[in-house]
Chains A and B, each alone.
Chain A
Amino acid sequence: MTASVNVPLNSRGKLAASLPAEQLAEITALFEFRRTGYSLDAPFYTDRSIFNIDMEAIFGQHWIFAASTAELPEPGDYVTVDYGPYSLIVLRNDDGGVNVLHNVCRHRGARVLTEAAGSTGNLVCGYHSWTYSPEGNLIHASAPGETKFDKSCFGLKRAHGREVAGLIFVCLADEPPADFDETAKIFEPYLAPHDLSKTKVAYQQNIIEEGNWKLVMENNRECYHCDGHPELACSLFPTWGLTEGLIPAHLEEVWDRNKQAEASLEERCRRYGLPYEVVEQLDTRIAGIRISREPLDGEGESFSADGRRLSKKLLGDLPDFRLGRCSMHLQPNSWFHFLGDHVITFGVFPINEHQSLVRTTWLVADDAVEGVDYDLEKLTYTWKQTNLQDKAFVELCQQGAGSPAYEPGPYMKSEYQVEAFINWYVQRVQEHLA
């Protein structure tokens, strides 16, 4: 299902344009002289002005992940999401679509909704009770004695919202980039069989990482560091990322196991008509994507130590639990794992140049019963641990970027997707600054 909403009411002048010419020139140069294949210069991770540019050029321009359908299943359900200085209300309307509204009261600017999620009829600002319809129209403001007060001029500002295969994306630009449609066409067939519209949130974890949002994304794009993830290592083959000819003797057996698992997953995917091929267009399109379906070790069903299912109810109309993981990465702020028994969504919500909120949401079939069909602790164990380990890695890098001794280092072969992410980022900002 897709749904889109109206164009935002207005837009502001470019933030970059308000920087002193000299500083802007310096920053532009930093982008221009970025050394391909190397990590970014320190200011990209530490400088407030560059963070502001990121907010404008990346988060202010592109389609960004906000939530999944399961987080707002019913009319009136909403989540509030913040991207740097932006705060948005994503609300399920009565027609089943989503309304995306700036969470900024048109009276004196108070946050209208203060909860992270909830359910509401009309939207009432807590300060002076200005009341907005779910569409954002100002419908009530007590105004004794006011004569010339035209309520229709003070609706909440709107942004674009779309829902694809159970994922909700927002775009703050007046004119959203058009190629998201193409990207959606790529990933929709992979996701549709998991039927996210029939899932519910089993658990949501919010962690604040002391790191720039780009470091969070970079860390996710490589498994060079996966030795640091003992729990995850049970599910991923220890040969993950290696290719024929690079297999050390002690891993040959694992390699064979991996090949076999791959072949039988392929066969199953073909039997059930599930796409599994790798599509990798991380920096070759505006709405960059990588998606594939890969086998998991052990029983190949889920992220558990023995590879067995973590929830007993299959998602959607899937016929089989042994479907490995369909993994998707979308530029700029999200990645996902779709399994036979559950789905995990990951969203990165920048707070400032050195802090990011990482939100992980575990979805299970909406008729799965906690304690009967799944054990919450077991369901969330692997990724809770992995997230904490990743948080530590990201924070080590953030600390490094703050040191005068830091200089960009080379991405290794297995880190080519990190390079692709950075390349995508640099291109997008340069286009915006041009």
Chain B
Amino acid sequence: MIELLTETAIQEPQRIRGLEMPWNRVMGSPETPARAARALGPWHPQEFMAECVETVPEAGAMMTFVFRRCDGAPLAFRAGQYVNVAFPVNGEDQEPVDRSYSLSSSPTQPWTFSITVKCDPTGLVSPWVHENVRPGTILEMLGPVGAFHLPDADRRARYLLLAAGAGITPVMSMVRTIHSLPGHADVVVLYHGSDAGGFAFHRELAYIASVDSRFKVHYSLGDRSVPERWEGLRGRLTAAMLEEVAPDANGRQVYACGPEGYLNTATELLQKVGVDDTSIYMEFFSGDRQTLLEYQAEVALATDIAEEIAEEIADSAEDYFEGQPAAFGLYEPGYDADGTLEASGLPLEISDPEAPGSDPAVDSPGMEPEAGSPDASSFDTVGTGSLTMSFMRTGINVRIDPTEHILEVAQRAGVRIGANCKEGMCGSCKVVKLSGEVEMNHQGGIRAREISAGKFLPCCSTAQTDLVIDA
């Protein structure tokens, strides 16, 4: 046995490029089965009840509470976000007290989720939580909330994650999420604690760093009580320490979480080592009035949205998945429409009702002409045939049989379409098809890109359905 455990050189795993959250494609997919999985995609906060199913004591006077939603739905969120929980601190019949806690679990394991709470003996809520929340406890929650989270897609996932004390909670969610996903990433974690025994999750962090070469984890003890056998870093955050753990911090996205003083220092130092302030994301675990007010506003906004959505669900369960509020960019997918990942070699596509090609009218026969454009039903109809082509500019309906070439029939009816080769080579007859299906036998006169943009060559095409043509 012992021999088996001795270290042998093992090659690096092979990975696709970049990180991509599992819900990313699902949210953009127009296909029905994929749509169902949209429930796993985080797009808005909701109010829900959740049942505690496990409590795990952690180092540093912290406790992890694992929950599942009472309605059985997964909790869809982004790594780094938080939930707002109503705790009946003063008994079930009194107004509960609201507190926000970062989620520490990974959204890639969405059927349960956890928060990790540090006990502050002088506080009102956290000691109560530690003492009273047990498996079986049911609490009312609102979430997910917050703009501090990993991007949905990142071609160059290079992160520096800074955490102090309980600030490790959202960072832990990020670490677990990335670890659970394949794809290239480069993650440096720098975790500050005040005493050697107080680093929550340190065993799991050590494990992840030992099996996943994408992670480097560093610990630093504040300037108090450094035991003799301490092998980590010493002292508060400094520019030199940042340079030491991440000499390329300059090219990384930095996520930092901890108390206000720590984050203020971090901001200064990060700028010093050349990190652009647009690459720095922060979550305050303590703060002045201003910071607290901002968080309150964030939760209030989330409450509004949650209510709006609840109403919509009540109105029509059918439209539930379509009815995403467009008003708040905060809850929109953070990826761009052109798609930047090469994970599958395919560009990401987001269903955009405005974009050509994703128009649902294409497969519904009663397509309505755009506002302001003429109505084809008022056009004259000429010719014979089983199908109708509406030429919107010319203002004429032309009947055609599925065996006839569109160009010939159209030209005979007086529609002006320039044409030269009549063999699908020169492209001179190219027109835009607003709806319907054609069969085209071209010979290089048109590009795949143009076809997907709705163009076709009428000289070498036949009609398969009624057509609406921009000519």
Contacts and interface: CB of A to CB of B under 8 A. Distances in A.
Interface of A: 74-76, 119-122, 124, 129, 131, 133-134, 139-140, 142, 268, 271-272, 299, 301, 308-309, 312-314, 317-322, 340, 366-367, 369
A308 B276 CA distance: 8
B340 A367 contact: yes
Where chain A touches its partner, the secondary structure class is: loop
A74 B347 CA distance: 14
A122 B449 contact: no
Contact of B251 (A120, A299, A320): A320
B155 A131 contact: no
A321 B425 contact: no
Nearest to A323: B251
A340 B336 contact: no
Nearest to B251: A320
Interface string B144-155: 000000000001
Q: For the complex of A and B, list the 10 residue pairs with the smallest distance between their C-beta atoms, beginning with the closest.
A: A367-B340, A320-B251, A320-B248, A319-B248, A129-B420, A140-B421, A131-B426, A76-B447, A122-B444, A124-B426
Interface in B215-247: 247
Contacts of B427: 120-122, 124
A133 B443 CA distance: 9
B421 A131 contact: yes
A122 B250 contact: no
B304 to A, nearest CB: 27
A365 to B, nearest CB: 8
Contacts of A312: 276, 278-279
Contacts of B276: 308-309, 312, 321
10 contacts: A120-B427, A121-B450, A129-B420, A131-B425, A131-B426, A139-B444, A312-B276, A314-B156, A319-B186, A367-B155
B69 interface: no
B445 interface: yes
B251 A319 contact: yes
Nearest to B338: A367
| Interface size grouping (class) on chain B | 20 to 34
A140 B250 contact: no
Nearest to B154: A367
Nearest to A317: B156
A299 B158 CA distance: 20
A144 to B, nearest CB: 13
Nearest to A312: B278
Interface in B383-411: none
B410 to A, nearest CB: 20
A129 B248 CA distance: 57
A192 to B, nearest CB: 16
A124 B428 contact: yes
Contacts of B447: 75-76, 119-121
B446 interface: yes
Interface string B423-435: 1011110000000
A340 B279 CA distance: 15
B251 A142 contact: no
A74 B452 CA distance: 14
Nearest to A307: B274
B457 to A, nearest CB: 9
A320 B158 CA distance: 10
